[in-house]
A and B are shown apart, each in its own frame.
Chain A
Amino acid sequence: MIPLLLIFIPVLSALIAFFLKNDNSAKNWALLASTLTLVVGLFALCPHCNLTFDAQWLPVLGARFSLSLDGLSKMLVLLTAISFPVVFAATYNNEYKQSNAFYGLMLLSQAGLMGVFLASDCLLFYFFWELALIPVYFLCSIWGGEKRIAVTFKFFIYTFVGSLLMLIGILYLYFQTPDHSFAIKSFYALKLSASQQNLAFWLFFIAFAIKMPIFPLHTWQPDAYEQSPAAVTMILSGVMVKMGIYAVIRWLIPIFPLATEKFGSLIIILSVIGMLYASLIAIKQDDVKRLIAYSSIAHIGLMCAALFSMNTIGWNGVLIQMFNHGINVIGLWIVADAIEQKLGTRKFSELGGLAQKAPVLATLLVILAFANVALPLTNAFVGEFLMFNGLFQYNYWIAGVAGISIILGAVYTLNMVQKIFYGQTSPATQNALEIKGNIQFILIVLVIVVLVFGVYPQPLIDLTKQIHP
């Protein structure tokens, strides 16, 4: 029952939100509904509940409406459930025209994300995969920045091509199953020859790689992050990119073991190239949003590389980092958005000396920045340490090259902190004030999560042990 609620609370509340007239009521309603989802999501953590749901859907096709929750799903469901109320609360002061539609679409995309992380039927998974995308298309195109239409369209076409290729892959596997079924068990039971795996592997992986994104399929990402409204950017980078990594763990590696082994090194090399490339570009950025976008590519690249290093240590690191990266990056976006809302600019060249004016914001951002660099005592340290460890076991040359990105990460992150908060005040920051209470509160909560999981990551590690593919 819990999995079903996790999908249907967002869907129903989205439908209701569309019919709300008053702008503020839509806002409050979305906050309330997402909090309710969070409560249900916390119930999902209980180890002994029945966390599966199965119902007839399309019997002729062999597709069932089946959902299930294991440790991996739990972690991502929890991330999704936490992110939405956090995002709604942090952007509470932002005004949107037609806010009922805005919040309705946001909740719909939450339903899609939940479905992706819960589905244990491949056609259902595909449905939700698309359902998560389409609301985002409308959100970015209506409420985004100046170049929103073209940028979002690029993003949409990119991911749509990927999805369709995945659909071919799904159908290809479907016809290989003896009982013509989309169930994950039937897919896992498949015995595919090497050549079959090689073909279908890429049909799936391209879709996932676009979503993550992996070099050289990343070109949609910085533009999309920059142009999307802040709330959507947070969801995109905090939760939606995890869809790609989740899908690799759940749908790719178990089904195509031979192909994974064969192409693993290629993908690791691409990921590492992406890490270094994105880090180098991030150093040269003059825009907070673009900097965080490139830094996100670097982090995702590390996760993907560790994933394909195929050892337990690396995998544990990826699983932990999926959650932690979501928290950290949402925190960074909240700061970026607060600065933009407050001062009307995101450019480093127009900022400076903010620490004198807004000491609380400065303190919180510094902690989040440390987490972005993965300093010890922050949550990201545990994950990155394990991931580098895994990568090192795979091949120490690759680990060494990838390690450069740690240094580069420190360069661009600390550079950002320095340029925003220290130095001379600029005309833009001359009259800046401290951030509003609700944003402070949310940031403090996130910072507490960062520190708690930095010191005591055991709960997350325990959760990763419940995974049984």
Chain B
Amino acid sequence: MNAIILSALCGVVMMFSGILLKNKSSIKYVAIAALLVLLIGNLLQFYGIFTINIDSKNLLSFDRPGLFFNSILIVATLIYFILSGSDIEKVGLDVAEYFSLIFFVLCGATILTSFNGLLMFFIGIEILSIPLYILTGADKKNLKSNEASLKYFLMGAFSTGIMLMGITLVYGATGSFGLQSNMIKSAVTGFESAGILGPVGLVLLFISMCFKVSAAPFHFWAPDVYDGAPSVFTSFMATIVKAAGFFAFIRLFAAKSTDFGPGPAWTLILYVIIVLTLLIGNITAVFQQSVKRMLAYSSIAQAGFMLFALYSSNDFSKEGILLYTAAYSFATIGIFAILVKMEDYSLDGYNGLSKSHPVLAATNTVFFLSLSGIPLTAGFFAKYYMLASAIKSGGPISLVIIAVLFAAVSVYYYFKVIQAMYFKEGNAATNQPITNNFKVGLIVLAAIIIFLGIYPTSLLGFYYF
């Protein structure tokens, strides 16, 4: 509850800070301070002290995974602000508004980690989405940004419609918005029995969530939007927002997994979606020449791996999704922070970065190694948990084998950037001088990723204690 209320308050504070503070960079520091308050507030609730208690009439419930996930989101945002804050200032005039919109997105995300019924779920999704439409179009004079924003808005509105339809049908089938009422169970068992309302509603909900997390074949908006939006905001959308969407997805469909044994039809749908997502994301990413667009497809491919958590829904997958979203978000935020500073977003633009900016090249390598899932980086254990959860669930081993083959494909395009930076001649230029603070930030982030790659349990330890 702390995080929901504080993030909304911070959003309002940020909005007015634009009027009070004329200096752009001081706004960034206010935002970082506000984020720290938010983090502390959330941690306090973790330990049960100083908690704002409002009777939500059982619409919200705060459990350990949810609160822990909030912390991951807030920490990721903090890293994002520290590394890319100065680039947010460069997007346009209304800097304070961008920060306040980001806080509103966080508010939506924190609702999504604690909803207890479809009603709050819907509200959370909307609070999360609407600021994003604005952020996507933040570069007002750029046609591509406008196009992306409009596209995102139209597609988003459409999927919201599908979601509402789904919620209505599920309500019709079960007579309740609650997750407690065995909604999933009755709906799933409905696949086998005659009642068609519940299953159809559930499938509609599923489709709309696939859209939100850009799982194939509902991914078509993602590359264009990620490519068109200002790069700093792409970073935010591809990491923190996506992670929150996934958490909600899993909370909705798998949190009550004890209530139901996954039916065969359900497993089949997920199997197909995962394979499609991995296939389309990875294969298309191979052919991209722009690193930014490649990252858009790679984020689709990574979604395929995260869907494993939904597929297997056991202990391993719960820990796994926490680790996966953290590893993926940290690495991607780092990559985007460097990307934003590059003069040329194409692969050739990275040629020879190791000569001109050795620190950038070295940390970028760590981030890409983590995304590829190479041991000694956080990304390895992220993938490890996902594969382990799938094997533990006893499903077909073919899915796991397909997944690792695509992981090898992903190595192909991630390593192309490393090759450009280290093995090719060129003089990669940045569009602005690189400050020492930025370098230190990157090194710390890389160190965190390597540390998590050796001791992943240190992160999960917080989850248990």
Q: A-side interface residues toward B, CB under 8 Å?
A: 58-61, 126-127, 130-131, 134, 138, 141-142, 148-149, 153, 156-157, 160-161, 164-165, 167-168, 171-172, 174-175, 199
Contacts and interface: CB of A to CB of B under 8 A. Distances in A.
B411 interface: yes
Contacts of B404: 161, 164-165, 167-168
Contacts of B460: 60
A138 B457 contact: no
Given A153-B412, A156-B411, A160-B408, 12 more contacts: A58-B455, A58-B456, A60-B460, A130-B375, A141-B422, A148-B423, A153-B419, A167-B387, A168-B391, A168-B401, A171-B388, A172-B391
Given A127-B376, A157-B412, A199-B397, A168 B387 contact: yes
Interface size on B, as a range, is 20 to 34
B375 A157 contact: no
Interface string B240-251: 000000000000
19 contacts: A58-B457, A134-B369, A141-B419, A142-B422, A142-B423, A148-B423, A149-B424, A153-B412, A153-B415, A156-B411, A157-B408, A157-B411, A160-B408, A168-B387, A168-B397, A168-B400, A168-B404, A171-B391, A172-B397
A199 B400 CA distance: 13
A153 to B, nearest CB: 7
Contacts of B12: none
Contacts of A174: 388
B374 interface: yes
Contacts of B457: 58-61
A164 B407 contact: yes
Contact of B415 (A131, A156, A165, A172): A156
A397 B167 CA distance: 71
Contacts of A130: 374-376
Pick the 10 closest A-B CB pairs, nearest first: A164-B404, A130-B375, A161-B408, A141-B423, A171-B391, A127-B375, A60-B457, A171-B388, A149-B423, A168-B400
Interface string B374-399: 11100000001001100110000100
Contacts of A171: 384, 387-388, 391
B265 interface: no
Nearest to B416: A153
Contacts of B407: 164
B405 interface: yes
A127 B380 CA distance: 10
A160 B455 CA distance: 22
Contacts of A153: 412, 415, 419
A240 to B, nearest CB: 17
Interface string B434-465: 00000000000000000000011100100000
Interface of B: 369, 374-376, 384, 387-388, 391-392, 397, 400-401, 404-405, 407-408, 411-412, 415, 419, 422-424, 455-457, 460
A368 B401 CA distance: 44
Contacts of A168: 387, 391, 397, 400-401, 404
Nearest to A133: B374
A228 to B, nearest CB: 13
B401 A165 contact: yes
Contacts of A175: 388, 391-392
Nearest to B319: A60
A160 B376 contact: no
B458 to A, nearest CB: 10
A171 B411 CA distance: 21
B419 A167 contact: no
A156 B419 CA distance: 13
A2 B44 CA distance: 46
A59 B464 CA distance: 13
Contacts of B387: 167-168, 171
Q: Which of B376, B392, B423, B456 has the most CB of A within 10 A?
A: B423
Contacts of A58: 455-457
Contacts of B408: 157, 160-161, 164
Nearest to B453: A127
Contacts of A156: 411, 415
B115 to A, nearest CB: 28
A126 B388 CA distance: 15
A173 to B, nearest CB: 10
Contacts of A61: 457
Contacts of B456: 58
B95 to A, nearest CB: 40
A171 B407 CA distance: 16
A462 to B, nearest CB: 36
